[in-house]
Structure formats: structure tokens, C-alpha cells
Amino acid sequence: MATYLKTFQALSYERLQAALSDLFGLTLSQGGLMNLLQRAQRRFRSGREAAVSALRRAAVVVSDEMGVRIEGSNAYHWVFHSAEAVVHQASPTRGAVVVREMMDGHRPAVWNSDRYTAQQGHATSHQTCLAHLARDVAYVVEVSDDPVPWRLQLWLHAVFALAERVTDLATSTLAAKRRTLDRQLGAILATPSGCDLTRGLQAKIGRARGQLLVFLVHPGAVEPTNNGSERLLRPAVVQRKVTNGYRAMWAAQGEAAIRTVVDTARLTGATPFGTILKTVSA
């Protein structure tokens, strides 16, 4: 119960003390709670190792990261996931070394992420998150009168519409549509513009051009966005806002292990509390 309330209901130590006192009549110090949680977290190590092993066999990997405070310093909460596993990782760095250590030499067929450099170059091909680019395009459309961003927005709308029915179309049809979309994008990127924001947008999208339509080559297996990663990070975002971070690295790493086991079990329909109960009681 303490593990569930601390990790998935974002209770602080003070509120957790009050909850256990009110619900069960237990009087525990914050140090006692830390020891209790640390013992419980050890039970999730084997499950985390199994999830990491599954990730290192995956053909498609999706990733993202967010900032978090650990021991009073800036650090990062990473998430990596595939069809078979979800792995959370607490790290003091945002560098590519986190990805290399996580994958341990495994090179998937496709990597899906935003355009952050540390998440580039870890697979045979890369799918750039189109939702991130769509937000950039929407901003320029709003602040500029240039027609080029509007054309890019229409192009992205067409891509997202195609993504919704990608599994219903034949491979030859998808290949033809991909070639058409690529030609259309090339024409838009080659359009002269006097707007600095538009030129910057054209340059940014041009650098990622070969990574925009990879999902059409892997229908149903690769998403056009990495929104799945953002959804997996959302509980950690709530935790960060409520508690302002972690007092110790062991707490961040232990919670990452719990989230790894719970989120991996969710892929097969298990509930968070049920997974925690089963793991801690094993």
C-alpha cells in the first residue's frame, strides 16, 4: 500500500504518514517509511531486468526524457518502450550515454523520438515525432503571414490522416503515397521565403526529411509520433510537481524500477496495484 501510494498517487512522506495513520492506525517515522520503501523496491529488480532484456530484443524502440530534481540537482527521467516492454531510467545526465548503456549494443530496426541529438543514430532508421514538428509549424502559422507554414500544416494534416488508415492499405499503395508526400514536401521546402521563422522551419524539417515518413514502411509497427512516451512520462511529471523531486538517487532509481515493472505488466492488462501486490508479496 505504501509503495502504491508513494509511487502512483504521488503522496509525500508527510501525507503518506498521515494516510497510514488514519487508515491503519500505524505510526511510522519518515526514516521508517524510507526503509520500508527501499526494501519493497528491491523486489522489483528482477522484473526490471526482464523488461530491459525484452527491450534489447525489440525491433522498434520509442524513447523520451524529462527533467527532474534528484538530491537537489538537475537530473533526468528517461523512458524506453517497445511492444513488449517499458523501461524507466533515472539518470544524472541527458546524454546519449544513457541510451547506449540501456541498449548495450542492440541496434533496433527503427527508433522513434523527437529531434534531440542524444536520441539520434541508435537504429537502422529513425522516425521523428511529427507531433513535435506540428507544434513548431502551428506556432509559425500563428505569428507569420507567410503561406509556406500553412502549406506545411496542410501537408502534416494529410500525413496524420494517412496514418489513421495505414494498416488498411496495400504496401504498393503506401509506397506510392509516400513518394507523393515526399515530392510535395520537397516543393514546399524549396519555396523561397522572406520570413526568418519560415526559413528556420524549412531548414529544420529539411534536416529531418528522411525521418518523417518511416512509419509508412512499417505499417502498424511504427507510430508517426512518440506520444506514447509522453503518456508514460505523465505520472512522473505529476510526481515532480507534487514532490519537487527525490531526496536520494536510490529513491529515483527504485521508483523507476517500480514503474518499469508496472508499465510492462500494463501491456498485458494488469493493474498497477495488482502488479505491486504480486511483486512485493512474491
Write out pLDDT tens, residues 145-157.
999 999 999 999 9
Residue 239 confidence (pLDDT) above 90 = no
Strands (E), 181-237: none
Neighbour tally for 129: CB within 10 Å: 26
Residue ending a domain, choose from 184, 216, 248: 216
The answer to whether residue 1 is domain-embedded is: no
Residue 129 confidence (pLDDT) above 90 = yes
The answer to whether residue 242 is domain-embedded is: yes
C-alpha 245, offset from chain centre? 19
The answer to whether residue 281 is domain-embedded is: no
Strands 86-91 and 73-81: antiparallel
Question: Average pLDDT, stretch 104-131?
Answer: 96
The pLDDT of residue 247 is: 86
Looking at the structure, do residues 120 and 137 belong to the same domain, yes or no? no
- 28 near 17, Cβ under 8 Å? yes
Residue 242 confidence (pLDDT) above 90 = no
The answer to whether residue 170 is domain-embedded is: yes
Confidence of residue 12 (pLDDT cuts 50, 70, 90): confident
Separation CA 94–CA 249 (nearest Å):
15
What is the b/e burial string over 163-178, where b = at least 16 CB atoms within 10 angstroms of the residue's CB? beebeeeeeeebeebb
Looking at the structure, do residues 140 and 204 belong to the same domain, yes or no? yes
Looking at the structure, do residues 94 and 206 belong to the same domain, yes or no? no
How many degrees, rounded to 5, is the angle at CA 85 between CA 84 and CA 91?
Answer: 160
The pLDDT of residue 59 is: 98
Looking at the structure, do residues 121 and 232 belong to the same domain, yes or no? yes
Looking at the structure, do residues 71 and 201 belong to the same domain, yes or no? no
Domain that holds residue 65: 55-126+228-257
Looking at the structure, do residues 107 and 69 belong to the same domain, yes or no? yes
Looking at the structure, do residues 146 and 68 belong to the same domain, yes or no? no
The answer to whether residue 275 is domain-embedded is: no
Confidence of residue 282 (pLDDT cuts 50, 70, 90): confident
Looking at the structure, do residues 122 and 153 belong to the same domain, yes or no? no
- Number of structural domains found in the chain: 2
Burial tier of 105 (Cβ tally within 10 Å: 0-12, 13-18, 19+):
exposed
Residue ending a domain, choose from 162, 193, 216: 216
At position 79, the amino acid (one-letter code) is V
Question: Average pLDDT, stretch 187-215?
Answer: 96
Residue 193 confidence (pLDDT) above 90 = yes
The answer to whether residue 134 is domain-embedded is: yes
pTM: 0.93
The answer to whether residue 263 is domain-embedded is: no
Confidence of residue 1 (pLDDT cuts 50, 70, 90): very high
The answer to whether residue 27 is domain-embedded is: no
Looking at the structure, do residues 110 and 233 belong to the same domain, yes or no? yes
Looking at the structure, do residues 233 and 113 belong to the same domain, yes or no? yes
How many degrees, rounded to 5, is the angle at CA 198 between CA 197 and CA 199?
Answer: 95
Question: Average pLDDT, stretch 224-236?
Answer: 94
The pLDDT of residue 211 is: 97
Looking at the structure, do residues 207 and 70 belong to the same domain, yes or no? no
Looking at the structure, do residues 155 and 195 belong to the same domain, yes or no? yes
Residue 244 confidence (pLDDT) above 90 = no
What is the b/e burial string over 64-102, where b = at least 16 CB atoms within 10 angstroms of the residue's CB? bbbebebeeeebbbbbbbbeebbbbbbbeebeeebbeeb
